[in-house]
Structure 1
Amino acid sequence: MLLLYSPAAVAGLASFLIFPGGGIRFLMLKLAITIHFSKRVLESLFVHKYSGGMMLDSVVIISSSYLFAAAGMIYIHHMTLEATEPLVDLKYLGLLLFLIGISGNFYHHYLLSKLRKKNEKDYKIPTGGLFDLVICPHYLFEILGLLGISFISQTLFSYSCAIGCAFYLIVRSYATRQWYLSKFENFPKNVKALIPFVF
């Protein structure tokens, strides 16, 4: 998992040297992307507990897509620095959404890490936080964080990245709920996939 996120985190860090300056919006974007992927690296090292591995070809594809998204958002935003500011400024709303998203995502990842004791591989139904309402609250907060990044940047590419990731996580959360329903007879039917009381 470390290989998935490290290149994008390095791209975020490198952006401060490659593209110094650029104003508050660009600084916020570079910080948000760097924090987002650095958090993932640190969680891979210190929080997550894994039940299995991943094929190398999948790692290369996923890692490349994260790198492309991170570097692309930074580079495309750099190319728009001379353009006029958007009519509706969403960067501070974006910062708020990003902070809520990254905090909620970390908290629910922490809860997931506490499900298994050392050397345990069994799956359990997660509880606590928003797990009592949805099976994938970490995905919900991930979407909020990515939406926050897109609001900070306000470029078509950043919106496309957020929407693409959101659709992917919506499908994944639905599949995860279906898996829990098939695996656990006592899985609570009122627990939704991603959005409390709705989906």
Structure 2
Amino acid sequence: MAVAMPPIVHDPIPFGARRVAETRAYAVRHYGLHRARLIAPKVVVEHMTENASFSATFNTFAPDVADVELHELPGTCAHFVIDPSGTIHQLVSLKWICRHTVGLNATAIGIEHVGFSESGVLDNIRMLRASLRLTRWLQARYGIATKNVIGHAESLSSPYRHENVTRLKTQTHGDWPRRFMVRYRADL
């Protein structure tokens, strides 16, 4: 079934040759893959920004600096950000791997939702509609099963998770736990 692409505003972060090379080096270290390209993604990971605006999110992802949690390059990023008005912003081309979910970056598309709580997204009809439209379109485009649309907190249970760095094999975050994703997946 064809699914129409939702309206997407292109707001690219800098992703030049240096960041591509860092992404390739990251993929070698973490996944044993010698590429920066996102090829045939199998997972969509839903995230919360833990800030109040698209601009704050953009300003977090645009600088290519080592992240405060894992202290490595490339800088963290996500492919898409959905703001409270329901506007979908694309930060990174779907041809590139983004660092958004340890163990899944090489096979996952990252979607950030501006805000502090999953219930804030689920209760904001414009934001939820945009998120569902984007996720459905990505599912149709790449053949991603609904069971593989996961919250960041569910990353450890994904059959596609692979991580070579020992200290990160059990690393995840708490955003979009199963109790919220059950409703989200039902809405899909």
- State the TM-score, normalizing by the size of structure 1: 0.31
Greater RCO, 1 or 2 (C-alpha within 8 Å, sep 6+): 2
Greater fraction strand: 2
Larger-gyration structure (1/2): 1
Greater fraction helix: 1
